[in-house]
Structures are given as C-alpha cells and as structure tokens.
Amino acid sequence: MRTAIKQIEIDVAMQSDTIRELLNSNRSLSIEITDHICALEFKKYAKKFVWNENEYTATFDDISNVSVSIEDFIMYQMQYTDSAIEIENRYIHIIEDLRDLQDTAKTELIKEFADQKHR
C-alpha cells in the first residue's frame, strides 16, 4: 500500500506540474464539457440549467470552450481530462487516497496562483 501511495504522490505531482505549465502559459481558463457528470459539475456556467426529478437539461454556449474560474479550471484538469481519467482508473481501488492528494494539490495551486495575481 505504501508503494501505491508513493506512486499516487508522483502522479499528482506530475498533474500539478502540467496544470502549473498551463496556468503559466497565459492561455484562457476554459474547459470542455465532456459528459453528463462534467455538465453537472460545471452547471453554474450553463446558459440554462433545468432540473427535473428524473432528468436535467444543461445548455452551454459552446461546450468545447467554457470559460471558468481558476479553481474550476484546476479541478477540471485534475478530474476530467483524459490523463486525469487514466490516473483515476489506475487507482480506482484506492480512490480516496488519490482524491485526498489531489485536493491538497488543488489547494496549493490555487494559493500559488492567487498569490501571483496579487503581486
């Protein structure tokens, strides 16, 4: 188990480095709505969101280019990209450990980039 945790730490550190590079590149903070879970997660960016008992409808201007906050951009990169899904599948049996490390990394990245904006 200790070896698996160490490997998760390495993978999350690599995720953080990739996200850091994206944030430092001055690219726009945008995501792509890739599936229904992603749409629900980022529903606050929907132009229209209707929730019924058994279904919902989310309408975005452009699902491939949704402008988001830095916090949501980081979360998207850690959970919804192809590389994030690959990491999640690798550690599905110990997903809580992965999520704990990702949450810590997310908090550190948000703090790091929020501090940069205030300089």
Residue 1 has pLDDT above 60, yes or no: no
At which residue do the structure tokens 């929907």 appear? Answer: 46
Tokens linked to 44:
């606050």
Tokens linked to 72:
């949501």
Give just the sign of the alpha carbon dihedral 96, 46, 26, 111. Answer: negative
Q: Which residues touch 23 (CB under 8 Å, ≥6 apart)? A: 70, 73, 74, 109, 113
pLDDT single digits (tens) 48-105: 999 888 888 999 999 999 999 999 999 999 999 999 999 888 877 777 878 888 889 9
**The pTM is what?**
0.77
Identify the pLDDT of residue 7: 86
Tokens linked to 82:
């192809």
Identify the pLDDT of residue 88: 86
